Structure 1
Amino acid sequence: MRRATQLFGICWLLCLLAACGESHFMTDASYRSRVEQDFQQKKALMPQGELFTILDDASLSTYEQEALEFLYAYMPLADITDYPGEFHLMNIRASQRAAEEMPWGKTIPEDLFRHFVLPVRVNNEQLDSARVVFYKELKDRVKSLSLYDAILEVNHWCHEKAVYMPSDARTSSPLATVSTAYGRCGEESTLLVAALRSVGIPARQVYTPRWAHTDDNHAWVEAWADGKWHFLGACEPEPVLDLGWFNAPASRGMLMHTKVFGRYEGKEEVMSVNPTYTEINVIDNYAPTARAKVMVKDEAGNPVPDACVEFKLYNYAEFYTVATKHTDDSGMCGLTAGKGDMLVWASKDGRFGFSKLSFGKQSELTVTLDKQSGDSFTVDIDIVPPAESANLPEVTPEQRAENDRRLAIEDSIRNAYVGKFISEEAARNFARDYKLDRDAVAKILVAARGNYRVIREFMTRLRSDNSRKGGIDLLQQISAKDLRDVRLDVLIDHMQSRVRTTNAGYFRKYVRNPRVSNEMLTPYKTFFGKVISKEDVEAYVAEPMKMVAWVAKNIQVNKECNLGAPPVFPEGVWKARLADAHSRDIFFVSMARSMGVPARIDEVTGKVQLITDDGAIDVNFEAAGQAPAQRGRLAATYTPIQSLDNPKYYSHFTISKVTPQGNLQLLSYDEGDTDMGGGVTWSSLLKEGTSLDAGDYILVTGTRLASGGVLAQMTSLNVKAGGRTETKLVMRENKDEVQVIGNFNSESLFTTLEGGNKQSLLQACGRGYFVVGILGVNQEPTNHALRDISALKTDLEKWGRKLVLLFPNQEQAGKYHAADFPDLPNTVIYGIDTEDIAQQIVKNMKLKRKDTLPIFIIADTFNRVVFVSQGYTIGLGEQLMKTVKGL
């Protein structure tokens, strides 16, 4: 009996221990204690404690309690205020279920699960219930696969759902991306990470803030399998992992980041730690690297502790900060980066200094804070990016063929879904039936893609003549992305806007318009109408500065409370009485518009402004009132260089304001539609002069060379109140090196000669450089050009890139006889210019003879043109090869 009792006791104890082990989300007691401390600090930060009531639920298991505390301890404010506790609990339970049901669930280390499976947030997207939805679709599809193959399979599933399409900077939620069927790289990678995590696979978004060798950035995904992190291009399935079109560009990268929510203790270099996430540097996974130390000194030669040190890459014609460090007590900080050049900008208390740092060549750099407001300088800076050193995994012909077969099937699945979107004809018929503007309605409904039913339902509710006109106008005010994911209640809310201004333009843009900045659209007008008393509304309308004073007094600003997330909803700011400065600004503008008071955030300067018939009034929350802006004018002369008679903002020059702290704040002018000739240029901005706030500015110009290097120049400017500052906009040249001389859209379509299918140049040529030629069939200049190219057949075939030769039309194609030019390289692709590629080249390269053929360019899939030729040219083949060899 006693023995039986002992056995029972042992079994009971083992069961209890096992249960205890399973019940903890964090089995490390010391880590659990640290999380508890961080959670209590987060709670203490919040003036409104009821935001955490989910944790008072007595039915929560220990696992759920700890997981919730972990998430809340490191959540950005937006996730606490804008999503109920039940939402986060739902996702905890879904992740736990995946761990239990997926075959690899028990093999995932606890720390990887904690940081790379449990969190719903990937970067700064809107959150949704994608984890639950995706799990239902993917569970049976991957449960019999190895972890490695499951990662590949999930990416194939994502390719069924979405493909690449550039868009604005606001990041759609994963479900919105699926509904739309496309997204930019940040949205595609967010979708893939969410899908992988939904089936219990550790995944993280990796991004290069900016490339070093070209004006762009990119985001992709790393997923963990069998003890190692692998990378893959999101929604771009390859036969194996660690392969994507970006292998070569990534080998030239200088920094690759990923955000890890929570306190992360992995092996990677830590870039920074804040109350929300740990930012780590994974550049070592992609490129040869070197580490360098930076010493910051004052003019007396003394080390400067706690100086802000910004590591900047030249990109989009500015020196863009890709990493920020602070010096230690000895004035030192350091960074690991790819072996290329950066600009190091150090600042403290209004003083600043800068210097170029060449990683791999310099292990140490000293920057002296020798400049301040009012100092005058012009500095030439030559930037050299890292060299290419791509390492490509082996792919067999069989693997490639099978992957291509699957891609075609996935394209058909996605296209079938997209085919269910409303057509232009159906949209016009709808507009006719409801007596709406057919052109406007068709454009809006087609642009809404998978969200067209919501937009159509809104339109059906536009009954009176005034509301019809206003409703269409509202839809034209919001962004294309808004059309794809806005909710019906949001649109209805903003149609009920109060009218307190007689200026119809102000009402449309700065009252009824729901779009303030980069936030998700919400029905804030109805909310404010409920929580702000009638008496307060009347007082604020009569004296808007009272509203400024209320916000300054009642909304606490904390710069670290919402890092890594989109702006907090206006309703969330009201509930929390806490916000980052940007969310506070959106809150104020939303609050003002809800009362019919015109307000905005200026797109160029980022300043909050009240709009009156007399102009814009700057709002200063620190002074709790208006801030009269002292302004002057800035103008610049420009002497044209080859193929560049009118430099473009973001392509060739930018202007940044020097802040009181000594940092740089870019003036964000509208970049427009480059292919349509839009955007800000020297002639539209600086030729006659532009009005700016008085203060100090930095003008940056840069000539991007075909090698990826840059010939940059920085010039300080001082704009005085009421004065006019004159300067020179200088584009430096290097006549001995191939330069980027223009732009060309590599996704332009043409019709293949064989098969008659429309195809983009990117699809036909793959990533990298290519040649496009527009031929004048049987014309002597074209015949000369083709013979010159034939003479360089061996060299061009050795180069290996495609030469796309296009005929102006089908008739011209019929007159061409390939037998007349038997020695053309085997890399030639023939097609017909059905989409006006020739005219795009003429316009972008500013060719003076619109109809003269042939035209040849060398361009790449980053849309850069490095060579152009038009008309009669002797030795074209040699000119092409000279350029090719200089790349």
Structure 2
Amino acid sequence: MRRATHLFGICWLLCLLTSCGKSHFITDESYRSRMEQDLQQKQTMLSQGELFTILDDESLTTYEREALEFLYAYMPLADITDYPGQFHLMNIRASRRTTEEMPWGKTIPEDLFRHFVLPARVNNEHLDSARVVFYDELKDRVKSLSLYDAILEVNHWCHEKAVYMPSDARTSSPLATVRTAYGRCGEESTLLVAALRSVGIPARQVYTPRWAHTDDNHAWVEAWADGKWYFLGACEPEPVLNLGWFNAPASRGMLMHTKVFGRYEGKEEVMSVTPNYTEINVIENYAPIAQAKVKVTDGQGNPVSGAQVEFKLYNYAEFYTVATKQTDAEGTCALTAGKGDMLVWASKDGKFGFSKLSFGKDNELTVMLDKTPGDNCVIDFDIVPPAESANLPAVTAEQRAENNCRLAYEDSIRNAYVATFMSEDSARRLAKQYKLDADVVAKILAASRGNYKVIADFITRLRSEDSRKGGIDLLQQISAKDLRDVSLEVLIENMLSHVRTSAVNFRKYVRNPRISNEMLTPYKTFFDKVISQETEQIYLEEPAKLIAWVAENIRVEKDCNLGGPAISPAGVWKARVADAHSRDIFFVAMTRSMGMPARIDEVTGKVQLIEDTGLIDVNFEKALSDESRLQRGKLVAGYKPVKSLDNPKYYSHFTISKVTPQGRLQLLAYDEGDADMGSGTTWSNLLKEGTALDAGNYVLVTGTRLASGAVLSNVIFFSVEPQKTTKIDLVMRESKDEVQVIGNFNSESLFTPIVDKGNPSSKQSLLQACGRGYFVVGILGVNQEPTNHALRDIAAYKVDLEKWGRKMVFLFPDEAQAGRFTKESFPGMPSTIMYGIDTDGIAKQIAEAMKLRNKNSLPIFIIADTFNRVVFVSQGYTIGLGEQLMKTVKGL
């Protein structure tokens, strides 16, 4: 009998395994059929090489095969070329494991699992094995929790790993962010989505392409629990969901996007459907909305079908496209957005037109295609953002206190990890051992953070004096983010680069592996293997032949890599298909691997060969000729200073965009830098004496951002002709309203100053601390992104604020938050700042007196005087706070 039972068990197990092998990943036959058609199209496009061999593996189960087919049907080309099939299969098996081992695994609807759990890609980050690593750390921590509480817990785990720090636009992988222990909002949200998906929780990254009321953008996370999507700030745990510092600014947002992997059929408004993802609009989850219809007509008033309609927000001194639509047969399209102003820009066949659209006021707008590149004019626009209307969930005092205790503990965990990074003393000893500049080496190793072992290993391999000099120069050429995730292989191969040009060009445009925004890979070693020396010599003697080869052999498919990072040069070689940007990186990588200097110009985006005698534009439509050499003119802009601004800054006050032959705008991306430290692009160093521009048609946009978030913009269309100088005026419009008293505040309010190494002292009033006259009071949210931005903005105006000479009192909500604040994270703050603790309710008084909607939204800043008058108030997320403070100060 026991034997029979045993045999029955074996049979049952075999049946179970057989049924598992036949179970479908996609049970909807119509969806599966359409997915198979999309896969076939992808395979037809990528007929070169063996990019889909994993699908021929006969050991795959039905589930695994369908899941792989789904991923390959919709993944960007970079994920096909740069990651082996086994990598994707590993992620499929890891995601399926969550359905068996997590308590909510079998309750997640199939379509949500397909789109929001299975995909490893979140944004345009480099992919890694985060799903497997994170699952091992998180599974026991969350398996006994409800789905709602598990979301909160995963975010606490992420806060142990990373906090906010601004950086360049390339998105680090989740594991690189953990290794670094900080990231910008796009990296923090990528980390959190990856962590949530690792334990089988549907999650997606949500972002506003640009804010309407202030410069900058932001990304956060939505997670699904028990039939509903909730939002949360990544690595910024709150006691409950649907709460973050961005509740208030999000209520002033005009558009919130998320890109959903594959063909998605949810109930949200679809913005666009691409071969790789479905873009949906989730603005209604955050702000009051309105829909507007746009009609595009030709010069005679006839509807224009197939016109491209761009909806543009004013942000960073340009009108930035946040949504793009195509007109239908009647010449119309529609968009749902927050109730504020956008610029609508329509174009087709070289004709264009534009007009302001006020959502909530204008139900319909007609845009006439009555302009062509070269039509020059000057136009003013007054842009008004949506009003604030945030609704916050309730949080008890006990919940807040418990959450604050957890944050402090998590900070200690992360700080203990950061303490394992190489110390300055160790870095200096290493430099001394290898006879290197200690200051330079210490700075490099500090910037490398958790990647310090790779950088130190590389330095120890620099044996000769020349190699040490070159190696340190290489480390200085790559970006700070590169130092945090570059591999030893990449560093070593670039020390072996060919020298066939001047020292400057060699350092910047041959040995430097950084080309654009791609992940650094060892492409020089790769090309050394696949390109013969004979072929290389031909290209060196006649670069036109290399350009012609790339034009003939690398097919550009504009939609093949949507949603992904740049395809690696090796990936482009294997596929022989790429998007235009990856093709450009590929070409520059090939030339540099041969010792031929080349670059992608950061300002114009053009590919250029660099000769000791000058630059040559690369045109893949034709071989090099004299016509490829730059045809340039000169632009000079006069500027009459306004009282609060003597030298406008690029991106803060003005930008220049080229009008393409198609009638669209292409921003010139000048160096952002730090103008207050003598770098960056300003009117005086770019336009006062003039700058060279390619011949063509351009737009100069200026904008004065008011404290309300509204903008006074001026737009100038102009043309640049070869060998001629164009003169225009840069105009910064001013508000006619003088500084006004906007509220009252008791200057004798008490606070507790912090003195003697962080210890609080006895209470004193603001009047006692500041003396008679104007002063600034700030209430800080420690380690919150809005406060971090505000403090850095204030530091940028250190000289001006110290010259003003009045006190600035910055208060922490309580002693616990004061203990979490580190001054060292904000160097260059004005010496007029005094820190303290808000022991007597100053924040509450300000919120009530100024009728602020949410007293808990930080930071809060006011300018007041000892006659109890308030002349300036700012709350929450505001970019350019230092400038706004100084505008008010200069107007007093």
Structure 2 Cα separation of the partners of residues 825 and 97 of structure 1: 49
Per the alignment, residue 592 of structure 1 pairs with: 591
Question: In the superposition, relative to structure 1, how do residues 581 and 497 fare at CA in structure 2: closer, same or farther (>3 Å)?
Answer: same
Question: In the superposition, relative to structure 1, how do residues 867 and 299 fare at CA in structure 2: closer, same or farther (>3 Å)?
Answer: closer
SS of the residue aligned with 1:763?
coil
Contact 1:705 1:738 in 2 (8 A): no
Contact 1:738 1:866 in 2 (8 A): no
Contact 1:619 1:625 in 2 (8 A): yes
1:644-676 deviation line (CA, Å, top 9, x unaligned): 000000000000000111110000000002553
Per the alignment, residue 544 of structure 1 pairs with: 543
SS of the residue aligned with 1:322?
strand
Contact 1:312 1:320 in 2 (8 A): yes
Question: In the superposition, relative to structure 1, how do residues 397 and 723 fare at CA in structure 2: closer, same or farther (>3 Å)?
Answer: same
Per the alignment, residue 287 of structure 2 pairs with: 287
Question: In the superposition, relative to structure 1, how do residues 858 and 386 fare at CA in structure 2: closer, same or farther (>3 Å)?
Answer: closer
Structure 2 Cα separation of the partners of residues 33 and 651 of structure 1: 50
Per the alignment, residue 344 of structure 1 pairs with: 344
1:540-561 deviation line (CA, Å, top 9, x unaligned): 0111111101100100001000
Are 2:371 and 1:371 equivalent residues in the alignment? yes
- 1:865 deviates by 3.9
1:1-47 deviation line (CA, Å, top 9, x unaligned): xxxxxxx9xx99x9789927971000011110000000010000003
Contact 1:772 1:856 in 2 (8 A): no
- Percent identity reads 73
Are 2:633 and 1:632 equivalent residues in the alignment? yes
Contact 1:422 1:445 in 2 (8 A): yes
Are 2:582 and 1:579 equivalent residues in the alignment? no
1:44-83 equivalence runs, <5 A: 44-83=44-83
Per the alignment, residue 19 of structure 1 pairs with: 19
Contact 1:275 1:560 in 2 (8 A): yes
Q: Unaligned stretches of 5+ in structure 1? A: 1-7, 740-750, 776-780, 790-803, 829-844, 846-854, 871-878
Per the alignment, residue 668 of structure 2 pairs with: 667
Structure 2 Cα separation of the partners of residues 321 and 603 of structure 1: 20
- 1:499 deviates by 1.0
Residue 679 of structure 2 aligns with an amino acid whose one-letter code is: G
Structure 2 Cα separation of the partners of residues 704 and 651 of structure 1: 9
The range that moved more, 642-651 or 751-760, is 751-760
SS of the residue aligned with 1:50?
coil
Residue 763 of structure 1 aligns with an amino acid whose one-letter code is: G
How many correspondences in the alignment? 801
Residue 588 of structure 1 aligns with an amino acid whose one-letter code is: F
Structure 2 Cα separation of the partners of residues 824 and 238 of structure 1: 23
Per the alignment, residue 319 of structure 1 pairs with: 319
1:515-526 equivalence runs, <5 A: 515-526=514-525
Structure 1 Cα separation of the partners of residues 443 and 759 of structure 2: 23
Contact 1:707 1:738 in 2 (8 A): no
Per the alignment, residue 753 of structure 1 pairs with: 754
- 1:427 deviates by 0.1
Are 2:600 and 1:601 equivalent residues in the alignment? yes
1:552-701 equivalence runs, <5 A: 552-626=551-625, 627-674=628-675, 676-701=677-702
Residue 490 of structure 1 aligns with an amino acid whose one-letter code is: V
SS of the residue aligned with 2:521?
coil
Are 2:781 and 1:763 equivalent residues in the alignment? yes
- 1:466 deviates by 1.0
Structure 1 Cα separation of the partners of residues 228 and 738 of structure 2: 41
Per the alignment, residue 360 of structure 2 pairs with: 360
1:206-261 deviation line (CA, Å, top 9, x unaligned): 00000000001000000000100000000000000000000000000000000001
Residue 412 of structure 2 aligns with an amino acid whose one-letter code is: S
Per the alignment, residue 748 of structure 2 pairs with: none
Structure 1 Cα separation of the partners of residues 340 and 477 of structure 2: 43
- 1:339 deviates by 0.4
Residue 692 of structure 2 aligns with an amino acid whose one-letter code is: S
Question: In the superposition, relative to structure 1, how do residues 510 and 813 fare at CA in structure 2: closer, same or farther (>3 Å)?
Answer: closer
Contact 1:76 1:563 in 2 (8 A): yes
Structure 2 Cα separation of the partners of residues 162 and 737 of structure 1: 44
- 1:401 deviates by 0.3
Question: In the superposition, relative to structure 1, how do residues 29 and 15 fare at CA in structure 2: closer, same or farther (>3 Å)?
Answer: farther
Q: So what's the TM-score if we normalise by structure 1?
A: 0.86
Contact 2:126 2:173 in 1 (8 A): yes
1:506-525 deviation line (CA, Å, top 9, x unaligned): 00001000000000001100
Question: In the superposition, relative to structure 1, how do residues 322 and 735 fare at CA in structure 2: closer, same or farther (>3 Å)?
Answer: same
Per the alignment, residue 528 of structure 1 pairs with: 527
Residue 658 of structure 2 aligns with an amino acid whose one-letter code is: K
- 1:622 deviates by 1.2
Per the alignment, residue 220 of structure 1 pairs with: 220
Question: In the superposition, relative to structure 1, how do residues 369 and 772 fare at CA in structure 2: closer, same or farther (>3 Å)?
Answer: closer
Structure 1 Cα separation of the partners of residues 274 and 687 of structure 2: 40
1:775-790 equivalence runs, <5 A: none
Contact 2:290 2:359 in 1 (8 A): yes
- 1:756 deviates by 3.4
SS of the residue aligned with 1:390?
coil
Structure 2 Cα separation of the partners of residues 611 and 866 of structure 1: 39
Residue 732 of structure 2 aligns with an amino acid whose one-letter code is: M
Per the alignment, residue 251 of structure 1 pairs with: 251
Contact 1:71 1:119 in 2 (8 A): yes
1:489-510 deviation line (CA, Å, top 9, x unaligned): 0101111101111x10000001
Contact 1:856 1:869 in 2 (8 A): no
Residue 678 of structure 1 aligns with an amino acid whose one-letter code is: S
Contact 2:39 2:74 in 1 (8 A): yes
- 1:754 deviates by 5.0
Structure 1 Cα separation of the partners of residues 753 and 620 of structure 2: 60
Question: In the superposition, relative to structure 1, how do residues 189 and 755 fare at CA in structure 2: closer, same or farther (>3 Å)?
Answer: farther
Residue 167 of structure 1 aligns with an amino acid whose one-letter code is: S
SS of the residue aligned with 2:52?
helix
Contact 1:339 1:360 in 2 (8 A): yes
Per the alignment, residue 730 of structure 2 pairs with: 729
Structure 1 Cα separation of the partners of residues 716 and 136 of structure 2: 57
Per the alignment, residue 4 of structure 2 pairs with: none
Q: Unaligned stretches of 5+ in structure 2? A: 1-7, 741-751, 761-777, 799-803, 810-822, 847-862, 864-869
Contact 2:638 2:688 in 1 (8 A): yes
Residue 137 of structure 1 aligns with an amino acid whose one-letter code is: E
- 1:625 deviates by 2.9
The range that moved more, 325-334 or 144-153, is 325-334
Structure 2 Cα separation of the partners of residues 50 and 462 of structure 1: 39
Residue 509 of structure 1 aligns with an amino acid whose one-letter code is: K
Structure 2 Cα separation of the partners of residues 141 and 710 of structure 1: 48
SS of the residue aligned with 1:625?
coil
SS of the residue aligned with 1:242?
coil
Structure 2 Cα separation of the partners of residues 601 and 331 of structure 1: 37
Structure 2 Cα separation of the partners of residues 413 and 334 of structure 1: 49
- 1:869 deviates by 7.6
Question: In the superposition, relative to structure 1, how do residues 310 and 737 fare at CA in structure 2: closer, same or farther (>3 Å)?
Answer: farther
Residue 699 of structure 2 aligns with an amino acid whose one-letter code is: I
1:281-314 deviation line (CA, Å, top 9, x unaligned): 0000000000111100000111111100000000
SS of the residue aligned with 1:510?
helix
- 1:734 deviates by 1.1
- 1:98 deviates by 1.0
Per the alignment, residue 37 of structure 1 pairs with: 37
- 1:826 deviates by 8.1
Q: So what's the TM-score if we normalise by structure 2?
A: 0.85
Structure 2 Cα separation of the partners of residues 570 and 17 of structure 1: 42
Structure 1 Cα separation of the partners of residues 754 and 881 of structure 2: 26
Residue 668 of structure 2 aligns with an amino acid whose one-letter code is: L
Question: In the superposition, relative to structure 1, how do residues 291 and 489 fare at CA in structure 2: closer, same or farther (>3 Å)?
Answer: same
Structure 2 Cα separation of the partners of residues 732 and 298 of structure 1: 32
Per the alignment, residue 864 of structure 1 pairs with: 881
Per the alignment, residue 874 of structure 1 pairs with: none
Structure 2 Cα separation of the partners of residues 97 and 91 of structure 1: 10
Question: In the superposition, relative to structure 1, how do residues 679 and 762 fare at CA in structure 2: closer, same or farther (>3 Å)?
Answer: farther
SS of the residue aligned with 2:781?
helix
Per the alignment, residue 306 of structure 1 pairs with: 306
